[in-house]
Amino acid sequence: MNGLNLKVCGMKFAANIAAVASLQPDYMGFIFYDKSPRFISDVSAELIKYIPSEIKTVGVFVDEELDIVKKKVNLYQLKAVQLHGSESPGFCSELKSAFQGLEVIKAFGVDEDFDFAVLDNYNDSVDYFLFDTKTKAHGGSGKTFDWKILDSYKLDKPYFLSGGIDLEHAGAIAGIKDERLYALDINSRFETEPGVKDVEKIKEFVTKIKTTLSY
């Protein structure tokens, strides 16, 4: 996608997982947090292992026990883990060192009061940050945050941009001239119901991004 990666998160149902996989996004996310309406069942999670290898499968966890996260990584052959809770830098480091090649993404809900200094201790423990709209629900709100807040982000670590991204944001995304912007994370704004993605809308989004991006 012209230098930007795409992550489609919150996959839940077998047929829809296959349909989105056919679009070949760079990442597909699966939520292992039972309070989420997009919580994936063990039956559907078994399909993760059959997703084409060029797509990086991501397990999303919120303050889960380290041993359970490790078990899910092994069981479903996850290629990345996204941590959406208050996981410590040590937690991230231990998880990363436990698996060769596993990508660790640490998510943070940001608003105008967010202190970017908290990221300093994570810089050597994760591969990417993910910036989402701050909510009590750990993501999936469908709401954007003011992207100008990211002007206060001073580290070199690449990041995923998340939080209410929709078709209408393609032009604004093209206006973000930040080489650290590694990936776009789309979810609820591309759904017909929680966990069911609108494949045609995702196709349209990818086309818009490709035609508007200039770097």
**What does the DSSP assignment read for 72-121?**
HHHHHT-SEEEE-S---HHHHHHHHHHSTT-EEEEEEEE-TT--GGGGGG
Return the number of other C-beta atoms located less than 10 Å from residue 5's C-beta.
17
Closest listed residue to residue 20, CA positions, set 46, 57, 63 = 57
Q: Say if residues 80 and 57 touch (Cβ distance below 8 Å).
A: yes
Strands 80-83 and 191-193: unpaired
Q: Say if residues 72 and 59 touch (Cβ distance below 8 Å).
A: yes
Please calculate the CA angle 211-2-27 and round it to the nearest 5 degrees: 115
Rounded Cα gap, residues 159 and 5, in angstroms: 10
**Whole-Å CA distances, 171 to 34, 91, 142:** 35, 37, 18
Residues that are catalytic: 9, 132
